[in-house]
Structure 1
Amino acid sequence: MNDFEEQSQEAFRYARSRSPAADLVREHLGMENPGMKTPENEVQIVRNAMARTIHVLAISDTAKRIGFGIEPGTDWMAVVDRVPPLEAVELAKRLEPLIEKAFGGSLDTLIAESKAQMPVTAADLQRLGRDLVLDVCGLTADALVEPSNYARVQPTKLNIHEILQIGEDDLECVPGLSLTELHRDAQLIDDDARLEAILAVPATTRLVEEDEVMTPEVKVQHVREGMARTIHVCVVADAAESMGYIFPAQSDLMDLVRDERPEVVGVVTQQLVDALEHANGTKLEALIQRAEASNPELEFDQATLESLGFYLAMQAQGHGVGWADDHEPFECKMPVYFAPGDSIWVGLDDLKALPGFDLEELRAEALDADDQDKLDAMSDIPEQTQSAYIEGYEPPMPGM
């Protein structure tokens, strides 16, 4: 039996060991004739290696995030002695279009190109599958060796653990890992991030639906959402306070301004994004990447990304609060000038949504106090929040 046949037969026997899903695994891996060296089986060996690499990456990253320590220099591929679940196999299939786009060819084309240069063994095909996954994730080969740079190298590329959520069933295969002990240790040192990561571990490994995946584009959308919400709240609060309105004591302004946002807020949000990108000479996506790199232990989920948008909008307005108040700082220059109130004319629709806002009562109080500034602020209020500029006029970029 040659090297190819021996490794193929071993993989075939290994796949059969995972019951009761063995038949489905073999079907998905295409291992019905493992000893036959055909182009189809060569592609399957690459796919098998991709699935195993995906599985190991997800397990190793999950283990780190929940606080499990492992000896430096340990090869995670040797630690995880488990057949990849169907979810990892499915994710490997999802990666193939990305690989084809990145390398300009399908798996069979890449294999043919490799064979044209030198004889290719099954081990070579397995390394090819591993390296393809690492490249798509923006990683290097040492990502599978502790200490790992996983999720720190080009984090705007695909993060496997955000798509393949490792469950308790797979974590059990890691020698010495006990979720109960890790949970107790995290409580003792009051590590909220680890506790949250441990509690988020599902019972079984699951594949996140495609519309749940935190792609770079989705991350940008969440940051923009945080910016837009903050801009809207700030301009409404400023307008109301200029009229003498007093917000309820100990209230959070973010909870008092209505959720529905006028179109002009989106326009001004884009102005802020443009100004930030101009000031830093890079895209918002890259600024998010910098924040991630400076805070490797922080899970950049929707709430965190919206919080980043909040802080960016507050910092740009000079409100005295910023991301570095609660997180590790990252390189980000602010626009020279950004005042959304210059561009947004707050209307009665936003003001009347505030609890207890009564325009006539505020006007009467201003008259009694002979407060001309407040009276001026209450004059000529539009029915709906709108652009402060005449139609067709585009203001210069903030900070320019």
Structure 2
Amino acid sequence: MTLSVGVLGYRFMGKAHANAMARLPMFFPDAPAIDRHVLVGRDERALSEAADRLGFASISTDWEAVVDDVDVFYNLGPNHVHAEPSIAALEAGTPVFCEKPLAPTLEEAERMIEASREAGDDVPAGCAFNYRFVPAIRYAKGLLEAGELGEIHHVRGRYLQDWLVDPDAPWSWRNDKELAGSGALGDLGAHTIDLVRFLVGSDDLAGEIERVSGHLQTFVEERPVEGAGTSAEPRATEDDKAVERDDTRPVTVDDAYTAQLAFESGAMGTLEASRFATGHKNDHTIEIHGSEGSLRFSLERMNELEVLRGDARGYETVLVTDEDDPYVDHWWPPGHVLGWEHTFVHENYEFLSAVANGTSFEPSFEDGLAAQRVLAAIETSDERRTWVAPDESS
């Protein structure tokens, strides 16, 4: 059986997933056969060019006509278009893979999860937390599940980038609360929250996040519109809204956030993310400290895991590239490192295999909703200036 795939979105994430789909038969021969059937967007000319480049057989400017005409639907559009197409696909019985965060708001995420539950377990609904599929993260999870770190005391997560440090960096939909939901919090923090839940969220480790205390900050209140001053006509941005002839648009989301966490077990944690961290390009770091050991991971050194065991005097750097490490037997000889794009290959392999086999997939929409509850609680905490439980944000 060949699965026909429809993909909404052809820019950053569209390219990442199309590349992964193209690599699957070469490196994962047991992956289900797929047909990159249709690419969905609004600009027909740009869409045609992208379809040729990314290997799609056809294009459509109407996602409603696609969702019940394919075997799998990928929603890789901006956050504000996650809900409606995904819900429509699930109502048509079509498995859905949706980018993170699940939605701009908790209310929309709850609508999406309701559609997923009504569709049933045999219609997988996946949320795109690709960092779960880094071999070093899988290795770390194995250590934690084996109890090698003992009782978990501290969890630290940060995601630092610097692409908005320049106040003249152009405005985009990611700077608009209506379109994105939040800034660094949802864009970056969602990944960290999911990794924390993935690694220590089980009852025999730290358990779920019980309450949070959050702080959000915006450093630049407005940004220039790309191409300002080049035409006397109103301009169209990525969201196809006409922009009046101003040189700037307001920034209505956070540029950075920090949060304190209290876990059900009594463990404590700290989170932060920033798009203003000068010198950091894509630094996603996780540290976990337990009674018997510690570990730390940075995405900027994604093939390595630093591990401290027992009474050792310092951390050991483990190069997670051996054939018996997670996913690595599909790739290169030991020591030949993997890159960021390989996480998408692993993710697509697992999701498409779940669709073909009629099995469940994680991270699911349920995981996406759990992360969304924590995001909402951090925002609510910042507004109220107090600790907030994730279930208080509904």
Give the TM interval when normalised to the shorter protein.
Answer: under 0.3
Q: Which has the larger radius of gyration?
A: 1
More strand by share: 2
Q: What is the TM-score when the length of structure 1 is the normalising length? A: 0.22
